[in-house]
Amino acid sequence: MAVLDADDPRAVAVTAAIRSGDVSALQELLGARPGLAASWIRQEGEAAGTRSLLHIATDWPGHFPAGPEVIGVLVAAGADPDARFVGAHRETPLHWAASNDDVAAIDALLAAGADIEADGGVIGGGTPLADARGFGQWRAARRLVEHGARTTLRDEATLGLLDRVRARLTGAAADTPDMSRTPGADDLDGAFWGACHGGHLATARLLLERGAALDRVGYDGMTPLDIAVATDADGADDVAVWLREQGARTGAEL
- Distance CA(137)–CA(164), nearest Å, equals 20
pLDDT at 2 over 70: yes
Q: With CA atoms as reference, report the closest residue to 229 among 202, 208, 199.
A: 199
Residues carrying CATH 1.25.40.20, the chain = 1-125, 151-254
Over residues 57-101, the pLDDT tens digits come to: 999 999 999 999 999 999 999 999 999 999 999 999 999 999 999
Supply the pLDDT for residue 173: 57
Q: What CATH architecture does domain 1-125 belong to?
A: Alpha Horseshoe (1.25)
pTM (whole model) above 0.85: yes
Name the average pLDDT for the chain: 95
pLDDT in tens, 144-185: 999 999 999 999 999 999 999 999 998 865 545 554 468 999
* pLDDT score at 175: 47
| CATH fit for domain 151-254, picks 3.30.70.141, 3.90.180.10, 3.30.70.60, 1.25.40.20 | 1.25.40.20
